[in-house]
Amino acid sequence: MQLTVLGSGAGLPSKKRNTQSYILDAIDESNQYILIDAGEALQHQILHTNIKPSKIKNIFITHMHGDHIYGLPGFLSSRAHQGGENLPLTIYGPKGLKEWLKVTFEISCSRLNYPLNIIEVEHNTQIEIDKFKVDVHLLDHTIDSYLYVFREENKKGALNTEKLKEIGIKPGPIYADIKNSSVFEYEGISYNTEDFIGPEIKGRKISIHGDTRIVSDSEYLSLIDSSDLIVHEATYLDNENEKAHQYFHSEISGVLNNFNDISYGHLLLSHLSNRYEEEFLLRLDGELPPNVYLAHDFFQLPILHNSQGSK
């Protein structure tokens, strides 16, 4: 599993940064891509990747500001002609999303050739999609803006092949049959498969924020604690904490300080203002802890279990 950044900028695009969109690549886990937010020019950004629009089965919109949704109608229309015919798509997002898309499609006379399901979420909504459970948490912004916490389901532990060899079973297709069984028989003796399976593998946890002021209440911090990846906005990068608070956004030092007492594998700071020069961003990125990154367009980050990474 990995996260790909299709847009890392805040508000206005720049020559090097599109507005916010992310792809959670769960092809190996559930044969799908999950899209989070749909900034303007989303279609064009996807053309620079190997992502197949038809494999996007679920979309999560954090909030209804234009830099997070203006790419959505175009993407939905194009998906219909990019292998998406008859392949259902579900969109989750704030109240108003359904009406906005309905009006957009009616006025533009757009038609889709696949089932589209739009589900409007609220604070503490819990969602289940293939291989994931998703928690929804309301953040602190000028309009309703949400955090989505993706929890991958736990996986069966690894097969203890050495233990199988000890009872005389040599490697081969039988190993897969054994792992998928509850009881197996060998040379007239029955065995419980669980005796040959290692500990359950805990699913990964990915917390992706919409625009927000820094939130520090215990319920919120407990929700994102032990995330393998946190994606959080850092619109301000130069100690303008008061200005960030005034405009309902976050400043980088405040984000880092807020997460001092929780555990996480990686932290990706995104939604960066276009007023910062790339030279400044590169220098700042080099000064961050080894498991903290500044996002840029087409940045890719493998999502590992909660362990420290390095740049």
**Which residues make up each annotated binding site for Zn(2+)?**
63, 65, 67-68, 141, 211, 271
Query: Which residues does residue 137 pair with via DSSP β-bridges, in sequence order?
Result: 147
Phi, psi of 271 (to 5 degrees): 55, 50
Catalytic residue among 25, 67, 144, 228: 67
Closest CA relative to residue 46, chosen from 2, 90, 7: 7
210 vs 141: CA distance, rounded Å: 9
- DSSP-derived pairing of the beta strands 2-7 and 300-302: antiparallel
Alpha carbon 167 to chain centroid, angstroms: 43
DSSP conformation letters of 244-296: HHHTT--BHHHHHHHTTTS-EEEEEEE-B-TTS-HHHHHHHHHHS-TTEEE--
Q: Are 67 and 19 in contact (CB under 8 A)?
A: yes
The Cα-based distances of 209 to 130, 184, 219, 290, 311 in angstroms read 21, 46, 15, 21, 22
Distance CA 196, CA 224 (A): 34
- The closest alpha carbon to 93, from 131, 138, 132, 50, belongs to 138
Q: Which residues are annotated as a binding site?
A: 63, 65, 67-68, 141, 211, 271
Whether residue 135 lies in the annotated active site: no
**Length of the chain (residues):** 311
Q: What is the DSSP string of 107-175?
A: HHT---SS-EEEEE--TT-EEEETTEEEEEEE--SSS--EEEEEEEPPBPPPB-HHHHHHTT--SSTHH
What's the angle, vertex CA 40, arms to CA 35 and CA 41, rounded to 5? 85
Catalytic (active-site) positions? 67
